[in-house]
Amino acid sequence: MALPLEGVRVLDLTRALSGPFCTMILADLGAEVVKVEPGPTGDMIRQWGPFDRGVSAYYLSSNRNKLGLGLDFRHPEGLTLLRELALESDIVVENFKPGTMEKMGLGYESLAAERPDLVYAAITGFGSSGPAGNWPGFDQIAQGYSGLMSVTGMPESGPTRVGVAIGDLTSGMWAAMGVLAAWIERQRDGRGQQVQTSLLASLVGLLSVQGQRYLSLQEVPQPTGNVHPVIAPYGVFETADGPLNLAPATQDMWLRLCELLELPDAPHDPRYLSNAERMQHRDELKALIESRLRGNTRMHWTREMIARGIPAGPINNLADVFADPQVQHCRMVETAQHPELGEIRQLALPITMQALAEGSVRSAPPLFGQHTRQVLKAYGLPAARIDALCADRVVFQHQACADTPR
């Protein structure tokens, strides 16, 4: 079965994480994504550790299934070539600072004048205009600015960043959704359009009920750590071998929990009669529950609670996650052959569909300039011009892969 985006050509002019994550989603879905990296050293993310035998794990995390082209962005002929490639692509994705693409002659309006069916996606830090439009787009800055950090963390610790670059990742996902919507629209009317999002907008868009609390009630939520803001007991509890998430969200679940933990008096205790009382005495209740949970392991209690219809689950570290039979069953890790590292494991696209029955990881993240000649040939450049571009160091071909197909 053909992949959903097979035959769609994407010119990826992004770097770091938000843009590459967007284009990786498109590549996973079958688009031909050409990752253009500035020569002579490539995407800045290649220098970020930790490293697997000299290769950045950060880079490996967001660039699979792409073709790699190295190009000198500062060379006048390089910009001319980039424009040619953009006009021969279906989709262009960039995450430069606002105004940069226009200065290079690669802004949406300029390209769309020649290619009106072009879909063009731009990811910025704080938007393309406005009082903060020129601020650089760094994830933790956006996490704080968006309010997300203000509702994350413990009351004692204060605001805390999310453990992954959530602003970069979500802006990449929003951009990919926008690109897909624009592509569907193009099938209807033949016209392209510009898709824009930002780290700030992406995170504000995730505020969900916390945002609605303020909009509807003018409540300013505070970080509550691992407890639920309106349900008790609900949150993190310690067992004999580590923490467990427990979520008996209804009165019936609470009663079943008391039965399981052999707490016959708790349902009749005035402090715990209903959720309202339990909220008022949640600290005492937590201590009582943990006095029983510490008698056995996370997985023991998880199985016992699930059997009784009480939502629960262990809090795993990443070694636990990748050894877990359910994660393995969901095929969340796939392998690819890397030119230097050999077989590497990669996180899979978390979407199941018939077209992806064979998996989503088809090729490893490319070396810098791994496919330069191959890409330029596919775009229709004659061999003599490709040779001249390489000789003049306008483009860069990785020598170890000069004749290696994808």
Closest CA to 152 of 143, 161, 144: 161
Active-site residue set: 168
pLDDT at 400: 74
**CATH annotation of 9-206+328-401:** 3.40.50.10540
Can you tell me the distance from the alpha carbon of 341 to that of 354, in angstroms, rounded to the nearest whole number? Answer: 30
Q: Give the three-class secondary structure for 32.
A: strand
Which pLDDT belongs to residue 403?
54
According to the model, what pLDDT value does residue 399 have? 86
pLDDT at 46: 96
CATH of the domain spanning 235-320, picked from 3.30.70.260, 3.30.1540.10, 3.20.20.70, 3.30.1330.60: 3.30.1540.10
pLDDT tens for each residue of 184-226: 999 999 999 999 999 999 999 999 999 999 999 999 998 989 9
How much is the pLDDT for 344?
A: 98
Q: Convert 253-280 into a string of H (helix), E (strand) and C (coil).
A: HHHHHHHHCCCCCHHHCCCCCCHHHHHH
Same fold for the pair 9-206+328-401 and 235-320? no
Q: Model-level pTM greater than 0.85?
A: yes
Length of the chain as a residue count: 406
Paired sense of beta strands 342-347 and 9-13, if any? unpaired
Where the chain has pLDDT below 70, the residues are 401-406
Contact, 31 vs 64, CB < 8 A?
no
DSSP state of 190: S
